[in-house]
Structure formats: C-alpha cells, structure tokens
Amino acid sequence: MSDDGRPLALVVGASRGIGRATAIEMAAHGYAVAGWYRSDDAADAETRGLIEDGGGWYRGRRTDIADQTQVRDGFRDLRTLDATLATVIVCAGITRDGLAGTMSLEAFTGVLDTNLTGSFLVARGGLRAMRKRGGSIVLMSSTSGIRGQAGQANYSASKGGIIAMAQALAKEGAPLGVRVNCVAPGFVDTDMFRAMNPATRSSVVERIPLGRVGRAEEVARAARFLAGPESSYITGQTLVVDGGMTS
C-alpha cells in the first residue's frame, strides 16, 4: 500500500466471528488492517471484500500463531507495508471442551498452545515492533477466564492466563509507551455459540440480565476503544462485555 497516513492495525483471527467484526470496525475508523488467519482462505477473502467495499484497506496472511516461526515471519511481512503499526488485536482462539477426567493431554495443551502461547507470541512481537513509537495491544480473554466453567478446564485456564499475562505485559510495556489490555466477552452470536444445542442456548440466555447474547460488533467496538487513543490512560485492564452475566 502507499503511505496515505493511515495507522496500521494487526487483527489476528480476522477471517471470522469477533476477529472479522474487529477488522471491519478498525477499517471503518481509519486504520489499514493486516489480518492473520489460520487456514480458511475463502473466509479471509470475504473479510477483505467487506472491508474494501466500505472503502478500507486490508491484506490477509495465513499465520498459525502457535508457531513462533510463522509469527516472526508475519511481523517481518508487516515491515514491508508503508504504514506504522499502531495496534495489535488478538482475537484468535479455539475450544476443545470436555470434562477434565476424560480430557486428553493433547486437548488440554492444544487449547493452551493456540489461545495462551499464541497470544504471548503475538504480544511479544507487538512489543518489539512498537517499542520505539508506542502503541497498544488488545488480547481476547473470556468470561470463562474470570469464572472457570465445567467442561472447559483447558479453555478457562487459557483465558484466565491471558488476563494475568496482560497485566504483566502492561507493566513491561508502559515504559515503552505500549498499553496492553483485554476484552472478556460472554456469550456472543458466533459460529461457536450457534454450534450449541438449542436447549443449551436457551439456558444461556436465561442467565444474561440483558436477555440476549452479544453481537460480534459489540465486542469489536470494545476492542477498538482499548486499541485507540480514547483509552490512552488505560492499561493492564480487562473490559467485560457480557450483558451483565458476571455482575
């Protein structure tokens, strides 16, 4: 891209769900967007089309954030763009639910590798890339990381770890001018929620004071707020977006 003055936002997990909504939100607010996704080329092309139709700029890249070589190469690729990296937003995440008594070690570590280790690798790269100019990092946690859920020992551990890690990284990033915060969504109308059986979905809604699940766009707005200058004195915090479920 040519340098037209737009700051650059890296959005990880941009091909679907909250990540796609966040990429669109950032583009709509004046950012050039680099989107990383793990495997779905067609979904990434849809994200690009939606952003470009709105007059924004987007470039996608296949990157498995659990692989530190791919993450390192991804940040090298960002340096070829004529834009200044201003924010890194990590929305990628997986689930492999099951009761702990029957959960395999592979299922446990696999979720941690992507959700927690992957978030660390991207955050580390972001700190290095923005250490001279400053910027912001937003990590995606979950209400399951605030209150652990049965059947989600792996997912809850990964998302709780993200909150603690963000607090540590906020202290390290502050002298560099890099803020680090979290968004913790509750239940959101994404593919993951729609995959639940109808009875479970109904029981979930009954527990939410606002009487509905969230929309991906609502989480994206929270991420954009923490990423941008409106939150310039906020770091090390977790913004819960759950319709009052954990209140």
Please indicate whether residue 37 is annotated as part of the active site: no
First to last CA, the chain: 44
Strands, E assignment, 7-162: 8-12, 32-37, 58-62, 85-90, 135-140
Catalytic residue among 31, 58, 155, 233: 155
- Element containing residue 235 per DSSP (H, E): none
C-beta of residue 182 within 8 angstroms of C-beta of residue 138 = yes
Place of tokens 């989107």: 35
Which of the 8 DSSP states describes residue 138?
E
CB atoms within 10 A of CB 183: 28
C-beta of residue 90 within 8 angstroms of C-beta of residue 140 = yes
CA–CA separation, 122 and 88 (whole Å)? 8
- Element containing residue 200 per DSSP (H, E): helix 198-206
**Catalytic residue positions, numbered:** 155
